[in-house]
Amino acid sequence: MTRTKTSPRWRQAVVWLHVVSSVAWMSQALALVVLMSLALTRPAQAGAATSMADRLDSVLLAPMANVSAFTGLVLAGATAWGYTRHWWVLTKLVLTLIQLYAGIFLLSPALRDAADTATVAWPQIAGASLMASALSFQAWLSIAKPWKKTPWSPAAKPPTAPTWVFVAGVAAPAFDVGAGLLAGYPLPALSLVTLVVLGFERRRRRRRAQPPTARSPRSAPAVSPPAV
């Protein structure tokens, strides 16, 4: 089996983009806490604060959340870490998916309603606070890498993906952020396509990493007896 050469610079670029987008995601969640707290405690400024919170969510927080989730999935799927080999990676994956769905279906609609009515409730502040806290915990997981491997961790460790996967890990979110700014709403289309392609490419690497199985004696070709 030939090893695929991977450019460390492109892999580092994906790591850098993941760190930057994750920090931006957490900082925007904290900014939402500040703005909604301001709207709750100072009714005279509620209209401006809720409008800013809604704008911040759609222009910065949502795109950065998509980039952070995408680059995290790329780093897990394109390297030997995998998605389910280690408990800390699996925990980050579950938390990320929960936060994405909560942000899309709960927080963003609540922020739009708050901007329309210029009113804020405590559950909205609590939701943004939980998001920032979860992101902070995920940052600790990335640094400490606690716990052991999962019981269903495969024995064969897949090799690192080729360079083009990491190039796509940088190019796809950059394209999606630009397209989203033009469209006026988050549009992670190319990122989703890249993740689908990564799934097939990861399956190919896992098959190549498996050791060849010994041929069964029954499957060996029959040897004819020597002629007398």
Q: Does 212 map to a domain?
A: no
Q: Does 219 map to a domain?
A: no
Q: Does 213 map to a domain?
A: no
High-pLDDT (> 70) share of the chain, %: 89
Find the domain containing 136 and state its range: 13-148+159-206
SS percent in the chain: helix, strand, coil, step 5: 75, 0, 25
How many domains are contained in the chain?
Answer: 1
Q: Does 201 map to a domain?
A: yes
Q: Does 174 map to a domain?
A: yes
Which three-class secondary structure state does DSSP give residue 23? helix
Q: How many alpha carbons fall within 13 Å on the CB side of residue 25?
A: 28
Average pLDDT over residues 170-198: 95
Q: Does 8 map to a domain?
A: no
Q: Distance (Å, rounded) from C-alpha 69 to C-alpha 21?
A: 9
Q: What is the pTM of this model?
A: 0.88
Q: Does 217 map to a domain?
A: no
pLDDT digits (tens, 9 = 90+) for 2-11: 556 778 999 9
Is residue 145 predicted with pLDDT exceeding 80? yes
Average pLDDT over residues 179-203: 93
Q: Does 132 map to a domain?
A: yes
- Chain mean pLDDT for the chain: 89
pLDDT digits (tens, 9 = 90+) for 72-109: 999 999 998 999 999 999 999 999 999 999 999 999 99
